[in-house]
Every structure is written in structure tokens, then in C-alpha cells.
Structure 1
Amino acid sequence: MKKIILFTVMLFTMSSCDQATMQKILDAAGSVTSELSTEEIAKGLKEALGQGVEKGVTYLSKTDGFYKTSYKILLPEEAQNVVSKLQMIPGFSNVEEIILEKINRSAEEAVKKASPIFVNAITSMTINDAMGILLGEKNAATSYLNQKTYNPLVGEFEPVIITALNKYNALDYWEDAVNAYNKIPFVQKMNPRLEQYITEKALSGLFDRVEKEELNIRENINARSTDLLRRVFAKQDGV
């Protein structure tokens, strides 16, 4: 009751507000005072994750989204022996930078097709999980999505990665490079396949971007782009 009286006083004293501003205040007040069902909370969290995926995909799928950012996929440690030895072999002196560009361009291409895979995974969030996620850690929704869906996502996403790697001729190029390396006397033979490694790195980058978007929605009121998001995360704010 005290909140309602205080709010009424504020409305009468803010004579300089225009109609649009006043309406926003009224909308916000209605959102805060409305009770939320667990179904609405679950729907809001799924919406937040969906928004995070969309923005994450947009960020990473642009040119250089992986290649020239902190998400750049590097070769696994064991592959460093390959590139160091091949620098002395004609045709492979610049093998590391060539393959890095190819695999990162492949990741940028593949991530464009990730949205439907993630959206399907998001639907696995249950109503029972919703409240704990909402009032949990700042990355609780992304962590839940990771824990519940990561392994199935790897299986679904790897064919997308392979298609993109083939588009950029990354697999054949790296296989040729590794085969040339394996012919060097006394070296430990290497497996030329990188698909699973690149899939895991690409997904790791995408989950990280989703987590950043979740944090933004939790901490930045302006990032809550729909009425449902504003109402759900107002509960997290303790309003």
C-alpha cells in the first residue's frame, strides 16, 4: 500500500513528464506489481536464452567473428609439432596461418546455422528448473543449457562444421599437411582429423557469447527488450 501511495505522489509531482514518459512509468509499475507464474518465468528465461543465442550467432558469424577476436580457434597443442616441422618443406612454409584462417572461416560459416539447433535445445528447460535458474548465478541459464544439451549439440553441430570445413577446403588441406609431416623420418605420426576439436571450440565460443548476453540482460535493464523479460528479471532484481 505504501508503494502505491508513493507512486501516486510521484505521478502528481512529475508535471514536466510528457505523455510517453508517463506511460512508460505506468507500464513499469504494472510489470513490477504483476504476479508471475512459473510458466511465465520459464518462458521468459527461454526468451532470454533465445535472444542470447541470436546475438551470439550474429556476433560470431560475421567476417572475423572468430578469426580476429578473442574467440579465434587455434590448433591443438599436439598440432604444433606438425606446423613447426612443415615450415622447412616447400609448399607448407605458411601452413599454420593458412589452416587457422580456413578453420576460423569455417566456424563463422557454421555458426550461422546454429540458431535452430540451440532453439530446439532451449525447449528442454522445464518449469521446475525455472525459479532456481532465475534466482541463481548470473550465468545460471547458460550453464543449465550447457549441462543439459552440450553433448547432443556436439552431435548435431559437427556435421554443420564439417560442411563448412569442406567449403573452405580446410580438411583436405590439413590432411595433406599432416600426411607430408608423417613422411618425415622418426616423427610421431599424427591423426589429421580436426572436426571434433573445431566443433567443440566453436560451441565453446558460442556458449561464451550466450553467457555474456545473459549477463547483460540480468544487469542491464535496457537490454530487456520485451515486457516479459522486464517482468521476469524484475523478480531477480528483487523489485
Structure 2
Amino acid sequence: MQSLKPLAAILLFAILTGCNLSMLPINVPNNISVINSKLAVPKPLSQEEAGQGLKEALKKGVAKGTEGLMKSGGFAQSLAYKILLPEEIRNLEQKIRGNVLLNAAIGKELDKTIDAMNAGAEKAMTKALPIFTNAITNMSFMDAMKILTGGQGAATQYLQNNTNTQLRQAFQPEIKSALESVAIYNHWTPIVNTVNKNKKLLGLTEDVNPNLELYVTDKAMSALFKEIEIQENAIRKDPINRTTELLQKVFKYADQY
């Protein structure tokens, strides 16, 4: 507004002195248009823009989130998401690893189990993107506005509520196939049965669930939604991640809440 002060002073002088504006050595119409542009109020966000912008952001986020997890090593080589043996088994695993004879007998089987769990989770991720895309496409305007103004994690929570059952149904066959490829239950079931029979000696209060498919599915789901939330919050927090004009407009509106 600093650049408009000389113009305002000239116009005020002209009005007070009765001077003909056409005699002034300025281009009044051009400068008036500058004033109007400076004072223009941004157009409100339309329903269509809100819906399209949010869906664009979500599709971008889920694509990036699933891409990293589905690649080879997406779980197995991840410090954050690598699937380890169930917590109840880890003390036993340490004892096995620390005993030369036990490690020689069972160690490789434990390695196969861990490798298969992570490979199954990585393969399962290929099923996630179409399910997410369908949920995003069918999102209503009211849902979009709630998510847009709902703050961090709102979109992730929406996707979790609307895709959880489908994702589980899609993930489990892939995980089961990966586990069966190494005949996992030939050695896993005897280990779990032994642990459950001796749980008091091992300091456990509940039986270990022998259903490894369910365990891996839970871990895969948890990792997936954590990654989706990271991508969502990156767009909300940092304007540099708003890579299109529509995203910039939509999330500038969301920043007010």
C-alpha cells in the first residue's frame, strides 16, 4: 500500500483545489485499477474446488504412502515398519539366538518367518491403492469439508473408517500366500504351542495367538495408516508440498481453521 500514498495525495489535492483531474500528469484510470486490484477480496472457495482439491491431495498422499511400502524392502529394510516376531516370542527368540545349538536348529526358521512376514506385507500393499482411490472418489462434499477443516490426521481417520474392512480382506490372502510359501506353520505352530504350555515359566499371562496372518495384517495396516498420515500432514503443514494452484487455494482456506 506504500506505493499508493503519492496517488492518494494527488487526488486529495485535486479535489480540494477544484483541479480538473484530466489535467493531472497521471493516468488515473490505470492507477484506480491498481487500487482495485490491491483491495480485491479473494473469491470464496467453491464446493467444487474444495472437493476436487482435497481429493487431489488425498490421491497424491496415498500414492506416495503406498509406493514406499510396496517396494522390495519397504517393510524388511525399514527401521520404522519392519515386522518382527510377536513381542511375546522375542524373549524366547533372544535365548534361541544366544544358544549355539538352538540357533543352529531353529535360527534359520525364525529368519524365514521374519522374511516371509515382511514380504507378505509388501505384497499386500499393492492392493491398497485401488481401495483408497475408490473411497476418495466416492467422498461427499460434506465429508470433504469436514476433513479439510478437521486438522491433522482428519483425512487419515476418514480413510481408516471407510476402508478398514476392505483392506483386511484384500491383505490377508497375500499375507497368507507369503507365509505358506515357506511352510511357516510347520515350525511356527510347534513354537507357539510350546510357549503357551510354559507361559508361566516365561512370565506370560496370556496365550500367544498362533494366527500369524492376523498379526502381520495388523502390523501392515498400522504401518500403512501411519505413512498416509505422514503424507497428509506434510501437505497441511508445509506449503511447498502444495504442488498445484488448486492445492494452494484449498489448503490456504484450511489454514484458517
TM over 0.5, yes or no? yes
The yes-or-no answer on 1:127 pairing with 2:141 is yes
- The 3 A distance-change label for structure 1 pair 215 and 179 is closer
Q: Which one is further off, 153-162 or 141-150?
A: 153-162
Paired AA for residue 47 in structure 1: E
Which of 148, 173, 188 is 1:178 aligned to?
188
CA distance in structure 2 between the aligned counterparts of 1:124 and 1:185, rounded to whole angstroms: 46
The yes-or-no answer on 1:78 pairing with 2:88 is yes
CA distance in structure 2 between the aligned counterparts of 1:179 and 1:150, rounded to whole angstroms: 28
The yes-or-no answer on 1:105 pairing with 2:119 is yes
- The 3 A distance-change label for structure 1 pair 116 and 194 is same
Query: What is the match of residue 229 of structure 2?
Result: 211
Give the TM-score of the pair, scaled to structure 2.
0.68
- The 3 A distance-change label for structure 1 pair 146 and 215 is same
Query: What is the match of residue 195 of structure 1?
Result: 213
Which of 146, 152, 156 is 2:166 aligned to?
152
Q: Which has the higher contact order (CA 8 A, sep 6+)?
A: 1
Shift of 1:111: 1.1
The yes-or-no answer on 1:95 pairing with 2:129 is no
Q: Larger radius of gyration, structure 1 or 2?
A: 2
CA distance in structure 2 between the aligned counterparts of 1:73 and 1:184, rounded to whole angstroms: 20
CA distance in structure 2 between the aligned counterparts of 1:232 and 1:223, rounded to whole angstroms: 13
Which of 26, 40, 48 is 2:57 aligned to?
48
The yes-or-no answer on 1:231 pairing with 2:241 is no
CA distance in structure 1 between the aligned counterparts of 2:196 and 2:57, rounded to whole angstroms: 55
CA distance in structure 1 between the aligned counterparts of 2:216 and 2:128, rounded to whole angstroms: 14
Return 5+ residue gaps in structure 2 as ranges: 6-37, 200-206
Paired AA for residue 119 in structure 1: T
> Does the Cα contact within 8 Å between 1:66 and 1:107 map onto a contact in 2?
yes
CA distance in structure 2 between the aligned counterparts of 1:89 and 1:226, rounded to whole angstroms: 55
Query: What is the match of residue 19 of structure 1?
Result: none
> Does the Cα contact within 8 Å between 2:70 and 2:123 map onto a contact in 1?
yes
> Does the Cα contact within 8 Å between 2:116 and 2:178 map onto a contact in 1?
no
CA distance in structure 1 between the aligned counterparts of 2:234 and 2:194, rounded to whole angstroms: 51
Shift of 1:63: 2.7
CA distance in structure 2 between the aligned counterparts of 1:33 and 1:163, rounded to whole angstroms: 55
Which of 24, 33, 39 is 2:48 aligned to?
39
Paired AA for residue 54 in structure 1: A
Shift of 1:90: 5.7
Aligned length: 208
- The 3 A distance-change label for structure 1 pair 119 and 161 is farther
Give the root-mean-square deviation of aligned CA atoms.
3.2
CA distance in structure 1 between the aligned counterparts of 2:134 and 2:156, rounded to whole angstroms: 14
Paired AA for residue 203 in structure 1: M
CA distance in structure 2 between the aligned counterparts of 1:58 and 1:118, rounded to whole angstroms: 13
Shift of 1:191: 5.5
> Does the Cα contact within 8 Å between 2:172 and 2:217 map onto a contact in 1?
yes
CA distance in structure 2 between the aligned counterparts of 1:158 and 1:127, rounded to whole angstroms: 32
Q: Which one is further off, 106-115 or 199-208?
A: 106-115
Give the TM-score of the pair, scaled to structure 1.
0.73
Shift of 1:162: 2.6
Percent identity between the two aligned chains: 40
Query: What is the match of residue 116 of structure 1?
Result: 130
Aligned partner of residue 76 in structure 2, secondary structure:
coil
Return 5+ residue gaps in structure 1 as ranges: 7-28
Shift of 1:45: 1.6
CA deviation string 1:144-182 (max 9, x = no partner): 11123223322233223334444xx24x22x01134434
Paired AA for residue 212 in structure 2: L
